[in-house]
Amino acid sequence: MSSSPKLEDHLRAAILAKPDAILDDKDLMQALVAANERALGDNIIDLRGIAMERLEARLDRLEDTHRSVIAAAYENLAGTNQIHRAILRMLEPMDFEDFLSDLDGEVAEILRVDTITLVLESNLDDEDPAIKRMGSVLCVAEPGFIDTYLTHDRKGPPRQVTLRQMQQGSPQIYGERAAQLRSEACLKLDLGEGRLPGMIALGSSDPRHFTPQLGTDLLSFFAGVFERAMRHWLS
């Protein structure tokens, strides 16, 4: 009589009825291969089993890469839609004060940031009543402030888009909300010939919201549209 254990009749019948189910089950196939290796003994190397393990490892890496690419594509699409919605909202106001009010209101909500500040370099006194009416959304700074602010933690000329993490925001730019901020995106603005530069500062309490590793294409596009809107208001 054979001493080999036999499958129960109903289990054997199920396997014979759907053999493909075994081939499609990764864990089950690994168990069968491992059982076959044990049956061969320690003195025999199963090259086919080794090749299968390597192929499975490569397949796992390909699947991980595929999932990462799909996730990145969805994230990029969501980011594009977000920027487009923010731009459309930004173009709706009919006067400059409403434009600035929306900037740190609905536009900030759409972009999911805690605050947005427009920084303008000027020789004007920041106690001017017109400036005070704009509230915390507008920061007026001395000429040269923006380039100094953008390059204070690195060498080289200022970039159009600067993404960075921080211990807290600048009180001069963000006011009372500065202490809660942990990352920011700074978009330098060219406001036209003969005008001093400007900057949009987007602050977030999430330290991972803006990091140097993130892409800047969408924010560059947003800055380009904002520049043109500002030139319209300043003309």
Q: Are residues 101 and 55 in the same domain?
A: no
- Residue bearing tokens 């080794």: 50
- Asked if residue 99 lies in contact with residue 116, where contact means CB atoms within 8 angstroms, the answer is no
In terms of residue numbers, what domain contains 187? 82-234
Q: Are residues 44 and 148 in the same domain?
A: no
- CA-nearest of 43, 221, 210, 196 to 122 is 196
pLDDT at 119: 93
Q: Are residues 21 and 120 in the same domain?
A: no
* CA 42 – CA 37 distance, rounded (Å): 8
Q: Are residues 107 and 167 in the same domain?
A: yes
* CA 220 – CA 71 distance, rounded (Å): 22
* CA 201 – CA 50 distance, rounded (Å): 55
Q: Is 225 exposed, middle or buried (0-12, 13-18, 19+ CB in 10 A)?
A: middle
Q: Note the Cα 132 to chain centre separation in Å.
A: 34
pLDDT tens track, the chain, 235 positions: 444 556 677 777 777 777 777 767 777 777 776 766 666 665 655 666 667 777 777 777 877 777 777 766 666 777 788 899 999 998 888 888 888 888 888 999 999 999 999 999 987 655 555 455 556 788 889 999 999 999 987 888 889 999 999 999 999 999 889 999 999 999 999 988 888 999 999 999 999 999 888 888 899 999 999 999 888 888 7
> Which residue type is seen at 182?
R
Q: Are residues 97 and 36 in the same domain?
A: no
> Which residue type is seen at 148?
T
Q: Count CB neighbours of 206 within 10 A.
A: 13
Q: Are residues 175 and 141 in the same domain?
A: yes
pLDDT at 16: 75
pLDDT at 45: 58
| Helix, strand counts (H, E) of the chain | 10, 5
Residue 121 placed within a domain: yes
Q: Are residues 30 and 142 in the same domain?
A: no
In the chain, the number of structural domains is 2
Q: Are residues 118 and 230 in the same domain?
A: yes
DSSP 181-203: --EEEEEEE---TTS--EEEEEE
Across the strands, what pairs with 119?
139, 199
Q: Are residues 40 and 89 in the same domain?
A: no
Q: Are residues 56 and 170 in the same domain?
A: no
Residue 71 placed within a domain: no
DSSP SS3 for 112: coil
Q: Is 136 exposed, middle or buried (0-12, 13-18, 19+ CB in 10 A)?
A: middle
Q: Are residues 114 and 53 in the same domain?
A: no
Q: Are residues 101 and 204 in the same domain?
A: yes
Residue 72 placed within a domain: no
